[in-house]
Structure 1
Amino acid sequence: MLNASPFIQAGLLLVGYFVFTLFCYRKVIVTKFQNHKQRHAKTLIAYASESGSGEQLARELHVKLKSQGDPAICISLNQVTEQQLKQADTLLIIASTYGEGEAPDNGRHFLGKLDTFKSTLAHLNYAVLALGDKAYGQYCQFGLMLNQALQCKHCTPLFKPILVDKLDENSIHEWYSNLLSKGLLEEAVPRSTLSSTQLPIQHFKLTGRQQVNLNSPGAPLFEINLAVPSDLTWQAGDIARLHIENTVREYSIASVPQEQSLKLLVREQKHPTGELGLGSGWLCHHADLDSTQAFSIRANPKFNPLDEHKKLILIGNGSGLAGLRGHLKHRELKQHHENWLLYGERCAEHDLPWHLELTEWFNAKHLTEIDLAFSRQTADSNIRVGRCHSGYVQDALLAQQAKLKDWVNNGAAIFICGSLQGMAKDVESMLLDILGQPVLSRLERQGLYRKDVY
């Protein structure tokens, strides 16, 4: 009589091997399944979001559609392909405009790609929710440009673009009401749920204020410290929002929650009349120490840390060092030590914010490379580490282009924080010259090229 035990054991081994193989290839299988769904989705939600609010609204709409059985997908505008538009019958766009009519980074390539699409897309219905701020001249300009470009492709608007001033709740409610009237939503969205886009305001005690660039030829720069509740959380790259006189001023956070303090680096601003700027004047001069200040924390996913351990190139100028310092502190706690800082300021003698800490990080091999660029005076005995360059931070990049290529070829990410006009645009132009458009576009698609500029 045959013994069944060997057959049972063999069967168990085969089952175990099959389960192990599925486990090993689970990411590939999930990715292929998701790609299949994306290619065949009939409703496409696409967002272009600078601060994260547009993405939040898009994902909330995605949840609502999926809950009523619509297999919609939600992706950034840059990720939208011609094939997806050919397969879809409805395109819902939530697009922010920042600065003077500019597109957010995760949407800025879409219009150029759309021009290359050979299909007329006459079958496609679409709607645009355009987010902006009436304080700027080119109010909601990017959303309006998207609307015009889609009409040129013979797409059919479901309704006129809805323009939203500073996340106005009434305008967002109008968006949902129009989607309901067109049959895309099965139920009305209560107004109470719309307040989720408004961030909770908390009160932090101002515990410290110190100018870090005494005698600088540039405007004063202040380190601001605020005590925060022990249970308050945020990520490196997130934004502190000061609420003052019914307005909001935003600042890059320089610290991490483990430090139990909210650290900012604030440049004093002045109007042409000589009057101090509202936010900087208050934090740098007028607010009393130990007084409480109204703040909220805004998530900034486009500038949050990488999920994995990679080399990191950090580029910035002026108060942009705040956002870069937050990432350096985060990576110190994670023991991710392959970091390269390129930082630009005016004067080597007086413009060295947090140089002692940077020196300590360099000596501890947490910062493996430091390049400092000064547009005026470049030599000073206070500089203890790093290479000094005459000019701007993009000039330091040019001088170190061989090293830059080597780091990028070895998987490094590039994070930029600082002024949009001047620094950020000139740095990107230099990166394009050194690395080329294909490489920079690949880094952006992979989430390895991130910016927080203002």
Structure 2
Amino acid sequence: MPAAAPSAALPAQPIAAPPLLAAPLPADRLDSLARLTDGLDRDSLWWLSGYAAGLARSGLAVATAAAPAAVESKTGERLTVVYGSQTGNAKRLAEQLAAQAEAAGLSVRLLRADAYPTRELKGERLLYLVVSTQGDGDPSDDARGLVDFIAGKRAPELKGVHYAVLGLGDSSYPQFCAIGARLDARLAELGATRAFARGDADLDIETVSGPWLQQALAQAKETLKPAAHLATVTPLRPIAPAAPTHHRDAPFAAELIGNRRLIARASSARGAVAADKDIRHIELSLEDSGLHYQPGDALGLWPRNPPALVQAVLETLQLDGDAAVAHAGQTLPLRQWLGEKRELTKLARPFVASHAAHARSDELNRLLAPDQSASLAELLSRSQVIDLLQRYDGAWSAEELVAALRPLTPRLYSIASSQKAVGEEAHLTVAHVEYESELGLRWGAASHQLASAEEGERLPVFIEANERFRLPADGSRDIVMIGPGTGVAPFRGFVQDRAADGASGRNWLLFGNPHFRTDFLYQTEWQAALKSGQLQRLDLAFSRDQAHKVYVQHRLREHGRELYDWLQNGAHLYVCGDATRMAKDVHAALLAAIAEHGGRSAEDAEDYLNDLQQQGRYARDVY
């Protein structure tokens, strides 16, 4: 039970923190505690003390005051696993490795990259890094600080440290797994010893991650001694609660209870002729699933490929869809492999290379040359598997095709609702990918499945937690939300949640899209929120409603003074949407506003924004 609340007669004003004498916490944890409690009123401090007491009683806090000394003496026998994850894959693999190592009796700590105390780097005995690369060679948001530290002048000499790196990426991008490669090379440069070769995993992650994890566990057992007593094994993370019944590998069949268009108009999609732009508001029932989510989390959907697309592949290659195909210990009809198990709407470099050989195509082989990376990236971004098969004739057997195609992977959608407002439901904002190419009609697998689904149909889903994208625990904090297009989705949940909690902090939304008349997603809801006081400020950027294009980054620059004042007064800043252009342009606009209105140099503005990120006050959900 939390501690009793103070008397109502006590003033609700910030309390000065007493000196933290003889605290059983390292310096970096004390700094975090000081930042957490800074400015909290008496009610908030009482609540926090009760929350911490509840954690201790539930077993989440496992270290006692005497534990740090014991752990310190065992540092040389400890495995450290650090992950940098954008969509949850690196986190999932790191957790899997840590769990396997703990089960083997090893002392393990698992840390997200932005929680890793860099001062401890030189003292590591065995360090495993599982890191993703996003966009064009960028680190995940939670790994930026660690990557910069290791690459910078402050990084220490690392003789005596053994390490290994697993990189995750997408070979559709020129700088495939670039962050993993950079960290691997830099750690060696600093004198650390590579325990075994780096793994570079494409979107069919398990092909590389499976063998890498096996080797990592074997190496850890050989290098480290199993912990003699559980008392010396002190995970620096909460003990995981019981696994939910439904998860990524055991999804819940959620009933579709709502599917409506938010907009529909003629537009020009990149690489396609004119088509209807179709944004959907999707509502799914989670009743009886046991699934729970927080604003900022994502809903994962295991998609299936459109039957018409599967049929087109079969006809193009003149293959029998009913033919039984054995692969990786499983035997299924070819049609089922292509419909439910293999990626058809995303084209990858390995398949281009395979098809170049099958088609004996000099043109495709030229595209695979190192100096043609930009042309290959253009092909991958504009084409699907069927396009390649139809443009370049090649003979495939059913077995070869199944083996060459990547496994179908789940799609993640930012949840556009709060369970405090909608109960056992999850709402999504989905851009339906459907366009007419020069070779025929094309779709996105998951978006087409959702847009085509009828009420009552059931879809396989799971919750993907996103701890980096959370509302402030202190409801009196202001928030600034930047979400153009479907990037506005999580902020609908943010506003619903804050309204349900009666949060006193102000909410400022910046939204953009091409046209006010047709593209203003959730227009009536935002207008109602402004009227009711659930939203204090709304700034809009409709890029094509005037002669010159106006985007959300332009609104940030226009209102830079107010933005800087909000940040100075403790506001949290959130960005959601496209990673390739929007997120970079918004980041540049934020730096410009901070430099101009804070009287700072460009370098100081960068430090200011990095510090906000370290505090958890600048969070991005970009894709």
| Structure 2 length-normalised TM | 0.61
Structure 1 residues 30 and 416, CA gap change in structure 2 (3 angstroms)? farther
Q: CA contact under 8 A between 2:282 and 2:429: conserved in structure 1?
A: yes
Aligned 1:264-413 pairs, distance under 5 A: 264-270=428-434, 272-273=437-438, 274-284=441-451, 286-309=452-475, 310-337=477-504, 338-377=506-545, 391-413=550-572
Cα offsets for 1:314-360 (capped at 9, x unmatched):
00111111111111111111112410000111101111111111111
- Residues 29/448 of structure 1: CA separation in 2 closer, same or farther (3 Å cut): same
Name the SS for the 2:580 alignment partner.
helix
How has the CA–CA distance of structure 1 residues 293 and 83 changed in structure 2, closer, same or farther, with 3 Å as cutoff?
closer
> How many angstroms apart in 2 are the aligned matches of 1:198 and 1:28?
43
Distance 2:249 2:495 in 1: 26
Select 1:417's aligned residue among 576, 579, 584: 576
Q: Which position in structure 2 is the counterpart of 1:146?
A: 183
Q: Quick one: structure 1 residues 65 and 294, their matched pair in 2 at CA, closer, same or farther if it must change by over 3 Å?
A: closer
Moved over 6 A (4+): 23-28, 63-71
Q: How does 1:248-267 map to 2 (within 5 A)?
A: 248-258=410-420, 259=422, 260-267=424-431
Alpha-carbon distance in 1 for matches of 2:416, 2:555: 23
Shifted more, 367-376 versus 38-47: the winner is 38-47
User: Could you say if the C-alpha distance between residues 209 and 68 of structure 1 is closer, same or farther in structure 2, counting changes exceeding 3 Å?
Assistant: closer
Identity %: 26
Relative contact order higher in (CA < 8 Å, ≥ 6 apart): 2
State the 1:80 CA deviation.
4.6
2:135 counterpart SS class: coil
The one-letter amino acid of 1:268's match is: H
| Deviation of the 1:268 alpha carbon | 1.9
Task: Please identify, of 72-81 and 254-263, the stretch whose mean Cα deviation from structure 2 is larger.
Answer: 72-81
Aligned-partner residue type, residue 257 of structure 1: Q
Structure 2 CA distance for partners of 1:270 and 1:181, relative to 1, 3 Å: farther
Alignment correspondent of 1:170: 210
Separation in structure 2 between the aligned mates of residue 81 and residue 33 of structure 1, nearest angstrom: 10
Structure 1 residues 90 and 170: CA distance shift in structure 2, 3 A? closer
Conserved? CA contact 2:259–2:454, under 8 Å: no
Q: Distance in 2 between matches of 1:453 and 1:32?
A: 33
Task: State the 1:50 CA deviation.
Answer: 1.3
Cα shift at 1:35: 4.8
Task: Report the number of matched residues.
Answer: 416
Local SS of the residue matching 1:214:
strand
Deviation at 1:52, TM superposition (A): 3.1
Structure 2 stretches of 5 or more lacking a match?
Answer: 1-16, 31-67, 229-242, 269-276, 304-339, 342-407, 595-604
Structure 1, unpaired ranges of 5+:
1-22, 188-192, 380-388
Deviation at 1:426, TM superposition (A): 0.4
**1:273-316: CA deviations, max 9, x gaps?**
541211112212x3233211111211111113222221100001
Range with greater deviation from structure 2 (113-122 or 219-228) = 113-122
Q: How far apart, CA to CA, are the structure 2 residues paired with 1:186 and 1:139?
A: 37
The offset of 1:417, in angstroms, is 0.8
Instruction: Describe the shift of the 1:430–1:184 C-alpha distance in structure 2 as closer, same or farther (beyond 3 A).
Output: farther
Give the match's secondary structure for 1:205. strand
Are 2:244 and 1:213 aligned?
Answer: no
In the alignment, which residue of structure 2 is the partner of 1:29? 23
For residue 126 of structure 1, what is the aligned residue in structure 2? Answer: 163
CA gap of 1:167–1:334, structure 2 versus 1, over 3 A, is farther
Q: How far apart are residue 362 of structure 1 and its match?
A: 0.8
Map of 1:165-204 to 2, 5 A cutoff?
A: 165=202, 166-168=204-206, 170-171=210-211, 172-183=213-224, 198-204=248-254
Structure 1 residues 95-130: Cα deviation after superposition (integer angstroms, max 9, x where no partner) = 122334331011123333223136332222112232
Which residue identity does 2:442 align to in structure 1?
E
Aligned residue in 2 for 1:444: 613
Cross-structure match for 2:347: none
Distance 2:24 2:499 in 1: 33
Deviation at 1:26, TM superposition (A): 7.1
CA distance in 1, matches of 2:549, 2:527: 20
Deviation of 1:413 after TM superposition, in Å, equals 0.4
**What SS does structure 2 have at the residue aligned with 1:160?**
coil
Give yes or no for contact 2:256–2:284 (8 Å, CA) kept in 1.
Answer: yes
For the Cα contact (< 8 Å) 2:122–2:157, is it kept in 1? no
